[in-house]
Chains A and B, each alone.
Chain A
Amino acid sequence: MEEILTFFYVHREIIFIVALSIFLGIEVISNVPAVLHTPLMSGANAIHGVVIIGAIIVMGHADTFTAKALGFLAVILGTLNVVGGFVVTDRMLNMFKKKNKKSE
């Protein structure tokens, strides 16, 4: 029990951020029209590419060859997630924009 209390106290800021972010995520997404489900999923997909920051940190402090190789791979994969995700989302949304212009 004491461990849990200590854990909560030590990490209180993070726990607050997590709790509030969960509600924020729910709030931000509700009421999205079905048409946008795919682009939204794709956009969110790009945002979790933020994991690349972790990859950069690991790579930045890697000292052995294995660590460097794995870190290198992690950065590539993370970048794929970020760049691919945003570009694909943009491509999808570009189509919507084109048609909006026509209807104006």
Chain B
Amino acid sequence: MDKVISLTEKISFTPGESLLEISYLLASILFIVGLKMLSRPETARRGNIWAAIGMGIAILTTILFHRNSEGEPISNVGWILLAIAIGTGIGWLIAIRVKMTAMPQLVSFFNGMGGAAAALISLMEFPHISDNLIAQYGMLNGHVLAILLGLLIGSVSFAGSMVAFGKLDGKVKDIRSKVLRFVNIGLLAFLIGFIVYIMSLGEVDPQSIMPLIYVMFAVSLIYGVLFVMPIGGADMPVVISLLNSFTGIAAAMGGFLYENQAMLTGGILVGSAGMILTVLMCKAMNRSLTNVIIGAFGGGGAALENEEGSIKETSVSDAAIMMNYSRKVMIVPGYGLAVAKAQHLCHELDKQLEESGVEVKYAIHSVAGRMPGHMNVLLAEADVPYEKLLEGEEANEMIDDVDVVMVVGANDVVNPAAEDDPSSPVYGMPVIKARNAKNIVVLKRGMGKGYAGIENNLFFNDKTKMLFGDAKDTIQKLIDEVKDL
């Protein structure tokens, strides 16, 4: 015990500092356990709450016990609490109010906020790099590297997330050009060169090179915008996941800077988990990450040549009769359903059909909607029972027996080109084999191409009947027709 006391005297610590580290340890453990629980359906919700508790503990103890290297406690507490209150209020409101269909945008938005916070921290910490450190190593030290990387990654993540948000919200259009690819590579090279340059400056006053840092901040923001610009809308989930992982790394840079274990573990954990999640998502869409980033998607006029027939329109009553007198109906929902907010009506139609003795199932492609799992959430919101939702493979196994497949606002996930047209950009992606069913009804707004901008042969198939119009209206009419039968 004496030994411990003499030791503690030497490293001069206070009980508060120790409590702070303990709480960070606890927070880190809660993050890990929470994330683990989030990856299993039964425990996911609790996992999220546990991670949130960890976060709460870390925030609270930081305000109470944190001391900087000079031993000063946190000041401006009133302002900090006010900022937290404002952030909580706005964040809560947005999170509660926003429609479930707009969820992917929302994740992107919140991700951008984290990135921006990381970038701001770097901006503010740069002038305060300790003199001792600079006297000893010049600019070539870990703190400078952490600050600059935090600035770079945080800004890219912020700007990129905002563009992704705009794209998912339909406010920003894709810009594809070969030139942009070279510009992007150039910008990235410039930014890395810039970091190397600053670190090689030797012993300078960080305050005096702040203009350089602002230049780097601006260029990073531009790079973030241009990085996401050419990436096709269909790939946005992958990009958001990637940017999510970036923000994690930016947060970890802050952790390194402050030797803050909670930031470090939390950030790195998200950084690596986010990276794996990105790869998993790419796999689900059968795309490679490089392909997504370089943006090879959306070529595709080639599929048109294999056109098998012409478009056949049908009437609502014909479609209703056909479905009502089938044994098995399979609904393939896509983003169109989400846009039209037709998930509740869809369930209504399915109940009507079940009353007439029709077996109704939903075939959910893993990337239907805008994000993996998005469609499941939407249908769950409409109270569609879990057993009715089939995953792609299950659906394909029974699709030969299905009398009517009703495709609602889905396109790329039922595109047969994925199976038989090697020149198509979607070739090789697992799809729902709608054309194997006996009849196909496609609800669609118009003859526009799908999100990936590729022609779809399914619509020209002899078995396919098209029902043009807003999915919500059409389904409502179908319900009325089925009721009257």
Using CB atoms and an 8 Å cutoff, list the residues of chain A in contact with chain B: 3, 7, 10-11, 14, 17-18, 21-26, 28-62, 67-68, 70-100, 102-103
Q: Which of A60, A88, A98 makes the CB contact (< 8 A) with B80? A: A60
CB-CB under 8 A for A102 and B268, given A26-B276, A82-B91: no
CA distance A9 to B205 in the complex (A): 26
CA distance A99 to B260 in the complex (A): 40
CB distance from B39 to the nearest CB of A (A): 4
Q: Which of A48, A49, A71 makes the CB contact (< 8 A) with B124? A: A71
CA distance A25 to B68 in the complex (A): 29
Does B48 sit within 8 A of A, measured CB to CB?
A: yes
Residues of B within 8 A of A52 (CB): 59, 117
CB-CB under 8 A for A29 and B35, given A47-B55, A91-B95, A100-B386: yes
CB-CB under 8 A for A41 and B274, given A21-B268, A83-B95: yes
CB-CB under 8 A for A28 and B36, given A38-B371, A54-B258: yes
Q: Which of B59, B124, B383 makes the CB contact (< 8 A) with A99? A: B383
CA distance A70 to B117 in the complex (A): 9
Q: Which of B68, B82, B371 makes the CB contact (< 8 A) with A37? A: B371
- 8 A-B pairs closest in CB distance: A79-B87, A25-B272, A60-B74, A83-B91, A37-B372, A84-B91, A54-B254, A75-B83
Residues of B within 8 A of A71 (CB): 76, 79, 120, 124
Given contacts A43-B47, A77-B114, 17 further A-B contacts (CB under 8 A): A28-B35, A37-B284, A38-B372, A38-B373, A45-B107, A45-B247, A45-B270, A47-B34, A50-B262, A53-B258, A54-B121, A60-B77, A84-B110, A95-B380, A95-B381, A97-B45, A100-B41
22 A-B residue contacts at CB 8 Å? A17-B264, A25-B269, A29-B273, A34-B280, A35-B373, A38-B107, A40-B39, A42-B107, A43-B38, A44-B270, A45-B244, A47-B31, A50-B27, A51-B267, A61-B75, A74-B116, A79-B88, A82-B87, A88-B110, A91-B95, A92-B103, A99-B383
Mark contacts of B369-387 with chain A using CB atoms, 8 A cut-off: 1 yes-contact digit, 0 otherwise.
0011110110011011111
Q: Which of A80, A88, A99, A100 makes the CB contact (< 8 A) with B113? A: A80
Q: Is the interface of B mostly helix, strand, loop or mixed?
A: helix
CA distance A48 to B117 in the complex (A): 11
CA distance A83 to B433 in the complex (A): 41
Q: Which of B96, B103, B244 makes the CB contact (< 8 A) with A48? A: B244
CA distance A31 to B39 in the complex (A): 8
Q: Which of B35, B241, B380 makes the CB contact (< 8 A) with A43? A: B35
Kindly identify, within residues 68 to 120 of chain B, every residue whose CB is under 8 Å from any CB belonging to chain A: 68, 72-77, 79-80, 82-84, 86-88, 90-92, 94-96, 98, 100, 103-104, 106-107, 109-111, 113-114, 116-118, 120
CA distance A72 to B120 in the complex (A): 10
Docked-complex contact A82 and B51, CB < 8 angstroms:
no
Residues of B within 8 A of A33 (CB): 41
Residues of B within 8 A of A94 (CB): 45
CB distance from A33 to the nearest CB of B (A): 7
Docked-complex contact B35 and A103, CB < 8 angstroms:
no
Does B142 sit within 8 A of A, measured CB to CB?
A: yes
CB-CB under 8 A for A14 and B264, given A79-B87, A87-B91: yes
Docked-complex contact A61 and B273, CB < 8 angstroms:
no
Docked-complex contact B113 and A60, CB < 8 angstroms:
no
Mark contacts of B14-54 with chain A using CB atoms, 8 A cut-off: 1 yes-contact digit, 0 otherwise.
00000000000001000110111011111011011101100
Does B266 sit within 8 A of A, measured CB to CB?
A: yes
Docked-complex contact A77 and B117, CB < 8 angstroms:
yes
CA distance A30 to B271 in the complex (A): 14
CB distance from A63 to the nearest CB of B (A): 9
Does B252 sit within 8 A of A, measured CB to CB?
A: yes
Docked-complex contact B31 and A37, CB < 8 angstroms:
no
CB distance from A71 to the nearest CB of B (A): 7
B372: nearest chain-A partner, CB-CB: A37
B36: nearest chain-A partner, CB-CB: A28
Docked-complex contact A60 and B114, CB < 8 angstroms:
no
B241: nearest chain-A partner, CB-CB: A41
Residues of B within 8 A of A28 (CB): 32, 35-36, 39, 269, 273
CA distance A95 to B244 in the complex (A): 23
B161: nearest chain-A partner, CB-CB: A45
Residues of B within 8 A of A46 (CB): 48, 51-52, 55, 110
Which interface residue of A43, A48, A75, A80 has the most chain B CB atoms within 10 A? A48
Docked-complex contact B373 and A80, CB < 8 angstroms:
no
Does B366 sit within 8 A of A, measured CB to CB?
A: yes
CB distance from A87 to the nearest CB of B (A): 4
CB distance from A103 to the nearest CB of B (A): 5
Docked-complex contact A36 and B39, CB < 8 angstroms:
yes
CB-CB under 8 A for A57 and B68, given A41-B240, A50-B58: yes
Docked-complex contact A84 and B113, CB < 8 angstroms:
yes
Does B339 sit within 8 A of A, measured CB to CB?
A: no
CB-CB under 8 A for A21 and B111, given A44-B273, A99-B385: no
